[in-house]
Amino acid sequence: MKKSLLVVAIALSTLSTFAQQDPQFTYWMFDRQSFNPAAAGIDPMHCVSIFYRDQWDGFDRDPKTSLFNYSGNAMVKKQELGYGLTFFNDLLGQEKNNSFRLAIAPKFDLGNGMKLGLGLGLGMLNKKLGANWVYIDPDDSAIPNKEVAETKFDLSFGATLYGENFYAGLSATHLTAAEFSDLNLKSARHVYLMGGYNFPLSSQPIVIRTNALIKSDLKASPAIDLNANALWNNMVWGGLSYRFGDAISPMVGFEKVFPTSVTTKGGSSTTYNHGLRLGYAYDVTTSEIRNYSSGSHEIFVTYCFSLDKVVVKLRHNNPRFL
């Protein structure tokens, strides 16, 4: 029980320091849609992603976060439109958070291989507090004596500029700053600034991919994530992330675009382009939490696919064409 109370106290202290109520992922560079709706549909294929993070392993009731993303891309009256769905579940001691968001993100061609995406995220945020507390003051009205839950409308907005080898984005979440009066909690507005650049090495089949993220509620000190990883032969990568004042994270992963297969039926065929990406990261804690935790684990998997109709000309049997 002492360990449970300790993880809650440390977690709340860390959240205050990093100004974060949103879930935190080391593999944020493969997630971007959850905190910047303009990132939905950047990939022209349909993509489904699942993330899972077990934070501060070794604590009783240590934080656990699950995330699901879907994104797609379509042309609507000659306008490229990205869209997506995001759902996350976050468990932190007695607190449980669930969020559902729909992202709509039109894309605008700026020429020279550059595009601008503007995104709007609409959804719901649900917060729940359990009743399994150890009371120092049983009359403290700020602590509920039964399980309490509330659901509020949630709004986010983002912009992303991107090209073949770079991206940059600015976004804000929880613009409504919903107040959960029954829980004595309030969601804080968060601002995210992100960017990345790929450096292909001409002499080797290697691409160095760099990423940076700054996140803040504009009140406390911002959290800063830096990452660099090397992709070999468009298939295997390894890298390192550093979160200032929190963790160093080695990571490995695999990605592969599979050969196209065609299935013919009647006078047309369907072309399947699909690919798989997966990764694992381990956070080596650098803060005082390292005295109580063996670190954090994170995994993710993404599957992308496209369906394109191709007209196939049929030819009647003729003895001249044997």
Question: Is a pLDDT exceeding 60 seen at residue 316?
Answer: no
Question: Is a pLDDT exceeding 70 seen at residue 63?
Answer: yes
Q: What digits encode the pLDDT tens for the residues 132-168?
A: 766 666 666 666 667 888 999 999 999 999 999 999 9
State in Å, rounded, how far the first CA of the chain is from the last one: 80
CB 227 within 8 A of CB 29: yes
What's the one-letter identity of residue 230? A
- Say if 139 falls within a structural domain: yes
Is the whole-model pTM more than 0.85?
Answer: no
The percent of residues above 90 in pLDDT, for the chain, comes to 57
Q: What digits encode the pLDDT tens for the residues 3-17?
A: 444 444 444 444 333
Higher-confidence residue of 313 and 322: namely 313
Among all chains, which residue has been given the structure tokens 């004595």?
184
Q: What digits encode the pLDDT tens for the residues 251-302?
A: 999 999 886 656 565 555 566 678 999 999 999 988 887 777 778 999 999 9
Name, in order, each residue with C-beta under 8 angstroms of 322's C-beta and a sequence gap of 6 or more. Answer: none
- Say if 317 falls within a structural domain: no
Tokens of 15: 């959240």
Q: State which residues form the domain around 86.
A: 2-311
pLDDT at 142: 64
For residues 19, 24, 29, 34, the Cα torsion angle rounded to the nearest 10 degrees is: -90
- Say if 320 falls within a structural domain: no
- Say if 319 falls within a structural domain: no
What is the mean pLDDT of the segment spanning 239-245?
Answer: 94
CA separation for the pair 233, 259 (Å, rounded): 15
Q: Please, what is the average pLDDT of the chain?
A: 84
Question: Is a pLDDT exceeding 50 seen at residue 303?
Answer: yes
Q: What digits encode the pLDDT tens for the residues 172-219?
A: 999 999 998 887 788 889 999 999 999 999 888 999 999 999 999 888
Q: Give the number of domains in the chain.
A: 1
CATH of the domain at 263: 2.40.160
- Say if 321 falls within a structural domain: no
Rg (C-alpha) for the chain, rounded Å, is 23
* DSSP state at residue 57: B
Among all chains, which residue has been given the structure tokens 């990205």?
82
